[in-house]
Structure 1
Amino acid sequence: MANRRDPHSGLHSEHGARRGEHTGRAANPIVKVRDQAWLEFEKPDLRRAEVFAHAFGFTTSLRTADELHLRGTDPGAPCVLIRRGTRSRFLGPAFQAADPKDVLRLAEATGATAAPLPEPLGGVGVDLEDPSALRVRVVSGTDLLPALPSQEPLTWNVARGAARTNAMQRPPRVPAKVRRLGHVVLQTTRYRRTLDWYLEHLGMIVSDFLYYPGQRDRGPVMSFIRCDQGSMPTDHHTLAITLGPSDRYVHSAYQVGDLDALAAGGEHLLDLGYQRSWGIGRHIQGSQIFDYWRDPDGFLVEHFSDGDLFDHTLEPGWAPMTASGLAQWGPPATKDFLGVKPGRESLRELKAVFTALREDNEFDLNRLRGLMKVATT
């Protein structure tokens, strides 16, 4: 047993770039966004979406016949905007600019038009399009929702430190209160062009690159990207982009108070009959404790806690992309999480593979072989 090899050996990405590899940042970006503002969706059944959202830990900040706004307990904008539509689809992310002048600068540089946002959001915004044809909204000056009561982390007795005496831990099975939106993960057939677009237009910087095993010389296929606020630490990633056979939403993540809130909230979701996709575990890139769920419309959403924070001085790490390298501990990544569980979603992705291989993009036959290898390593 003493000679047993650590399966995560070599998967941590503290190792930096080689000469000539991507630097992970743009030399002269147009603006530098400071955070993600919200995500926008269309769904046909707002009532069903709201019931799940409350069980997941959101609070409704706006409800009309055709629109639903969901917020966390932290002050700021809503986390999620859902509009009534004929089918379920992801419309795109919104990012928070530091100043309305940045919105105008982006509009001028791209030929887009800046315009006031509707009530009750307030502020000004500009709609752009990334190389995957996804609408990306950049906003500033939006109205701030006040803070709500949140779940405070429990007091732990740890080695050599007893902070709690004559008191017991009894976290209730209740929704894990969402504090804020953490990140969104997107898949694209034009990974390198899309990555560079976000770095050049929004001033984001890469925390970690992943490459397919045996294909590092062809460049990375996934990047975890953070906002650049100089010496102020920010989330390890606010956006992650991965190469794949289709342009689509992968998942979004929402911070909760601590491990107990996450775990007890998961038991609450199970009690209500909702589907856990994968968890509980701790990631490698970003270090978050995670728990993934499927909402009733099939979207993958994540509770997370205890993520890494980096300032602008940290250079990108590089590591191979493998299924076993997705977590430091926890159950193996599930077929549902990896997108290979038999069903409509996997069938749709399989059809996308054949389409992508016939088109002019970055997802070629060698990349397909690399992606298939990921699931078995």
Structure 2
Amino acid sequence: MTDTKAAHVEGTHTGLHSEQGARRGEHPGRSRNPVIKVRDIAWLEFEKPDLMRTEAFARAFGFHTVLSSPTELQLRGTEPGAPCVIVRRGTRSRFAGVAFAADDEIDVLRLADALSAPTRALPESIGGLSTDLVDPSGVPVRVVAGTHALPPLPAQEPLLLNTGRDVRRINATQRPRRVPARVQRLGHVVLQSTKYRQTLDWYLDNLGMIVSDFLFFPGQRDRGPTMSFIRCDRGATPADHHTLALALGPANRYVHSAYQVADLDALAAGGEYLADRGYTRSWGIGRHIQGSQLFDYWRDPDGFLVEHFADGDAFDADVAPGWAPFTASGLSQWGPPVSKDFLGTDPRSARHELISMLSALRDDNEFTARRLVGLLKVATS
């Protein structure tokens, strides 16, 4: 543990969100003196060759289009703010980076100075200032401030529910239509890294993020965590259980991103709309354990995994990290068994995953042979 890390937080675990807290000497899940503290995730960037196909899926998934040109697509939710997804035309489909929002431009300048990184004005359509960084896994990371706030759009209201003897819907039926679930906002992104610990510390030390939950490979807690669910530190103001999740794996890659919708009915009816149009569900519907979200995962036409979610946890800065084993059965409280597509063990991706594992074992990183054994246990545990 570096001297920039806070002292261990043993004894401060509330037990409210995980059966286990940290043991003495384990990673504290936060930095003692971060450079800045980002307040939220801003947007994700992708490159794709077919923007018309991308926009068709985006509309079915529940996004609203801000900008549609032959070279760029900007997508947003109903909440005010900047676009939450930016897609540029490219020769191949790839994840191109993540942007986080700082409180103000002073924070952007402070971070840029600390990391000897340049700053630049963002395009007029978005506005504001950015410093462009690269995390230890090679993922482009922008930290931005001063962006234009798009006005709110009409929201999809949660349904009025009768629960037991609490009867609020009288002389009225419940008939949610099969329509796209209106995306409210970008919630989080999940990334895989061959340099998990180094990358985790980079986000904690530089962006001031804090860990909500750690997972460790079965039987390998003594070797440290291999996944972390990380939230923004807003002090006494609650933040999403995770804005970023990092996992150790055989490749540096995007895993999935998640977008909030109004409630379970919006999520379920929106899923039926997607299924009716031939899109592929990866896994769902269910409720997660870490974060508690209702979830439903889909594959877009380029193979990227995207999630509708509702009813996620919100923690303030006082909640200490929970610790739990990383198992397939531990990914949900209820719902169908986790799919091979979601785990990356179906025949379509198995060969690619095997090549990634063999390649990672030849490189100098944290994905060792023993870690491989632990990862293989996840899918069957």
Pick the TM interval, shorter chain. Answer: over 0.9
**2:154 pairs with 1:149:** yes
Counterparts of 1:326 and 1:107 in 2: how far apart (Å)? Answer: 37
Equivalences for residues 239-258 of structure 1 within 5 A:
239-258=244-263
Counterparts of 1:133 and 1:376 in 2: how far apart (Å)? Answer: 30
Partner residue, 1:224:
229
1:270 is paired with a residue whose SS is: helix
Counterparts of 1:96 and 1:24 in 2: how far apart (Å)? Answer: 21
Q: Which of residues 338, 355, 360 is equivalent to 2:343?
A: 338
Q: Which of residues 169, 179, 184 is equivalent to 2:184?
A: 179
Amino acid of the residue matched to residue 371 of structure 1? L
Tell me by how many angstroms 1:168 deviates.
0.5
Tell me by how many angstroms 1:159 deviates.
1.7
Tell me by how many angstroms 1:347 deviates.
2.1
Tell me by how many angstroms 1:346 deviates.
3.1
Partner residue, 1:202:
207
Tell me by how many angstroms 1:13 deviates.
2.3
Amino acid of the residue matched to residue 160 of structure 1? R
**2:76 pairs with 1:74:** no
1:354 is paired with a residue whose SS is: helix
**2:374 pairs with 1:370:** yes
- Which sections of structure 2, spanning at least 5 residues, go unmatched? 1-14
Over residues 37-79 of structure 1, what are the superposed CA-to-partner deviations in whole Å (9 max), with x where a residue is unaligned?
0000000000000000000000000111100000000000111
Q: Which of residues 103, 127, 147 is equivalent to 2:132?
A: 127
**2:121 pairs with 1:116:** yes
Amino acid of the residue matched to residue 373 of structure 1? K
Equivalences for residues 1-377 of structure 1 within 5 A:
13-343=18-348, 345-377=349-381
Q: What is the TM-score with the length of structure 1 in the denominator?
A: 0.96
Residues 158, 279 of structure 1: alpha-carbon distance in 2 compared, 3 angstrom cutoff? same
Aligned residues: 366
Counterparts of 1:202 and 1:232 in 2: how far apart (Å)? Answer: 17
Tell me by how many angstroms 1:348 deviates.
1.9
Amino acid of the residue matched to residue 341 of structure 1? D
Counterparts of 1:184 and 1:131 in 2: how far apart (Å)? Answer: 17
2:211 is paired with a residue whose SS is: strand
2:99 is paired with a residue whose SS is: strand
Q: What is the TM-score with the length of structure 2 in the denominator?
A: 0.95
What RMSD over aligned residues (CA atoms) do the two structures have, in Å? 0.9
2:347 is paired with a residue whose SS is: coil
Counterparts of 1:41 and 1:168 in 2: how far apart (Å)? Answer: 42
Counterparts of 1:305 and 1:137 in 2: how far apart (Å)? Answer: 26
Over residues 73-109 of structure 1, what are the superposed CA-to-partner deviations in whole Å (9 max), with x where a residue is unaligned?
0000111000000000001100000010000001101
2:202 is paired with a residue whose SS is: helix
Over residues 3-31 of structure 1, what are the superposed CA-to-partner deviations in whole Å (9 max), with x where a residue is unaligned?
xxxxxxx9x72421000000000000000
Over residues 137-164 of structure 1, what are the superposed CA-to-partner deviations in whole Å (9 max), with x where a residue is unaligned?
0000000100000100000000220011
- Which sections of structure 1, spanning at least 5 residues, go unmatched? 1-9
Runs of 4+ in 1 over 4 A off after TM superposition: none
Amino acid of the residue matched to residue 374 of structure 1? V
Partner residue, 1:5:
none
1:81 is paired with a residue whose SS is: strand
Counterparts of 2:115 and 2:240 in 1: how far apart (Å)? Answer: 27
Over residues 155-207 of structure 1, what are the superposed CA-to-partner deviations in whole Å (9 max), with x where a residue is unaligned?
00002200111100000000000000000000000000000000001000000
Amino acid of the residue matched to residue 216 of structure 1? R
Amino acid of the residue matched to residue 34 of structure 1? R
Counterparts of 1:369 and 1:291 in 2: how far apart (Å)? Answer: 29
